[in-house]
Structure formats: structure tokens, C-alpha cells
Structure 1
């Protein structure tokens, strides 16, 4: 009975959030005078896909991860529909870089217990956060809020990603486990190369 109630609450919460988000996007598009009705064929399915993840999230456990993935996919599809409906795809497309990266970073909530798998998962999650930073920077550039000129700004993010990988390699080295040396080597090597490449782009060498 408790499981059924959890599923029902998940559906109600998911459908309620989907209806609210769809209504808000439609109202905003109509009030802006740039209403593209055909984008509803992307917006509404995205909202329903996201809502379908609600029951699994409500049940918790391993099923919650599946619900998170479904909700994340739906949220991305919904965002595409909202940008199209509002006519903001030209300036808003960096959101489609930020959201998937944040979705990947959010999977760290379901990190594994094994130190090697957990360390690799943490590395991917932190790299995804770095990718979200790239998306935010692209958004600032596209909207004209920041002018970077001819600077190879992406080199800074490459160096940040290299630092993330290198730090996680050092953290893995603390654990007594099989294949520790191999894992550290596989992480340190690419991080050094990425750091040097990032420095090259940033300095314009």
C-alpha cells in the first residue's frame, strides 16, 4: 500500500510540475509576442517524459536512478521546446550544454561503494560541472554580457578539467586496492597533456 501511495504521489507531483511548467512557458511566449505554437509538439512530450520519472524517483532505491535519467531527458527535451516556443534558441542554446552536464553531475548521488568506481564516477561528475561552466560562459558570450575578444578562454577550462582529473588521481592513490597504480597512471597522463594544451590555447602560443 505504501508503494502504491508513493507511485501515486510521484505521478501527481510529476504531472503537476509538468502542467505548471508548460503553462508558464506558454504564457511567457504569448505575452512576449513571439509565440510559436508548433513548439508545443516538443514542449508537451518533454514535460510528460519528465513527469514519467516522478514515480520512480518517489520509490527511491535503485529505481530512483532510472527515474532521474528519465526526468533529466524529459527536462532537456522540454527546454528545447521552451526555447523554440519563446524564439530564444539563438541566444539560449548554451542551456543545452549546461543542462546535460548538470544532469551527469547529479548522478553522483548514486555513486558506487567501491573506491575505484567511486573515484572514477567523481571524476566524471566534476568534469561535468566544468562542462556546465563552459556552457555558462558560452551563454555570457552569446548574449553579449562578456566580451572575451580573441582570447582562447576555453584553455582555462581545459586546465581546470586537468586539475580535477589530477586531484582525483591523487585521491585514488590513498586507497589500498588492486589496479591502483594503473588507475592513477591512466588519470595523471591525460591530465598533464590537457593542462599543457589548455595553457597553449590560453596563452595563444
Structure 2
């Protein structure tokens, strides 16, 4: 009994340290954005009502994330939601939403991709989860491309460049479907067939945007 009490007492300072550390990181992040906005002459004080809650929400997820397991997943969700709100607040405070809005595509996509850390052990749901996570990575790359286009770093002209991302998505679906062939699981043939169809269609559709071939619509 005394041993259990000692262990519980030992865990409390460690838990408190995690919470205080997470709050300290949130405070530093808010201070960094605020000081930067003031330094460049783009300070919008009202954005603090978005920035600070986002930092606090993200901070509440940090200690849970470190605990792992189911609580870790809840902490991850809180950290992602808070981080997204914080990013919105940061863009608003710096007056960069007009040029930084593609981050609202990239950041949620990366958050979805990160959930694969908690994928199922069964091959079929794991393959489905992996497909979603990899499609999210493709979406994140699309957001980064938009960011570069909006800020004048890239210029593809009138070319249907987005076809490459459609083809990438098709390759992800097709590849994860074919990967199921190496597993001895029920409904394997049906699952592979369901993946091949959309994958091939996406590949051809992306090719149509890139090269206007083989269809002339």
C-alpha cells in the first residue's frame, strides 16, 4: 500500500511539470508571434482573441500526448486543433492571411496524416487508414504548392499542373490496394478491386489534365 502511495506521489510532480512546461511553450509561442508582429509593424491586437485560445488548446494536448495510448490520441487531436487555431491567429495578427491561406490546407492535412501513428493492427483497416494518411500528405503538398504560387515563387502558367496531384492520389489508392494482395484476409479480392477502380480513374483523369491525352474532351 505504501509503495503505491509513493509511486502516485512520484507521478504527480512529473505530471505537473509536463503541464507547466506545455503552458510555458504556449506562452513563448504567443509572445514570439506578438513581438514579431509589433517589430514588422503588422500588429493586430484583436487577433489575440484567436491566438491565445489556440495556444491554450494546443498546450492542453501536450501532456496527454506524452502519455501515449488512447489519451495520447486525444492529446494529439487537441494539439492539432489548437495548433490550427493558433496558426489562424498568427496569420491574422501578422496580416498575412491573404498570402498564407494555403496553410489552412497543409496543416489540417498533416494532422490527418499523423493519425496513422495509431493505426489498427488488422491489415484491412490499416490499409484504409494508410491510404487516407497518404492522401493527406498529397493534399499537404498541394497546399504547399498553392503557397508557393500565391507568393510568386512558382508559376505554371495555364498548364493543368493539378493533374499531377490527382495522379499522385490515384497512385496512392492503387498502391495501397495492391499491397493487400500479400495478406491472407477475408474479402481481399473485393478490397483490391474497390481500390483499383478509383485508382486507375484518378490516374487517367490526372493525365488528362496534364497532357490532354488520351481523351479530347
Do these two structures clear the TM 0.5 threshold for a shared fold by scoring above it? yes
Query: Residues 1-205 of structure 1 correspond to what in structure 2 (within 5 A)?
Result: 1=8, 2-204=10-212, 205=216
Q: CA deviation at 1:14?
A: 1.6
Q: CA RMSD in A?
A: 1.2
Q: Which structure has the greater CA radius of gyration? A: 2
Between the aligned partners of 1:148 and 1:3, the Cα distance in structure 2 is: 56
Question: For structure 1, which runs of at least 5 residues remain unmatched after alignment?
Answer: none
- Give the CA deviation at 1:202: 1.3
Conserved 8 A contact 1:10-1:56: no
Flag as ranges the 4+ runs of structure 1 deviating above 4 A: none
Q: Which has the higher contact order (CA 8 A, sep 6+)?
A: 1
Q: Which runs of 5+ in 2 are unaligned?
A: 1-7
Alpha-carbon distance in 1 for matches of 2:11, 2:65: 12
Please state how far the C-alpha of 1:39 moved relative to its aligned partner. 0.3
State which drifts further: 2-11 or 175-184. 2-11
CA distance in 2, matches of 1:10, 1:173: 44
**2-structure distance, mates of 1:6, 1:113:** 31
Is the CA contact 1:6–1:59 (under 8 Å) kept in the aligned structure 2?
no
Structure 1 residue 49: Cα displacement: 0.5
TM-score by length of 2: 0.91
Q: What is the SS of the residue equivalent to 1:137?
A: helix
Deviation at 1:3, TM superposition (A): 4.4
Equivalent position SS for 1:33: coil
- 3-state DSSP of counterpart to 1:178: coil
After superposition, the C-alpha distances for 1:102-147 in whole angstroms (9 at most, x for unaligned) are 1111111111100111111111111111001000100010000011
SS in 2 for 1:150: coil
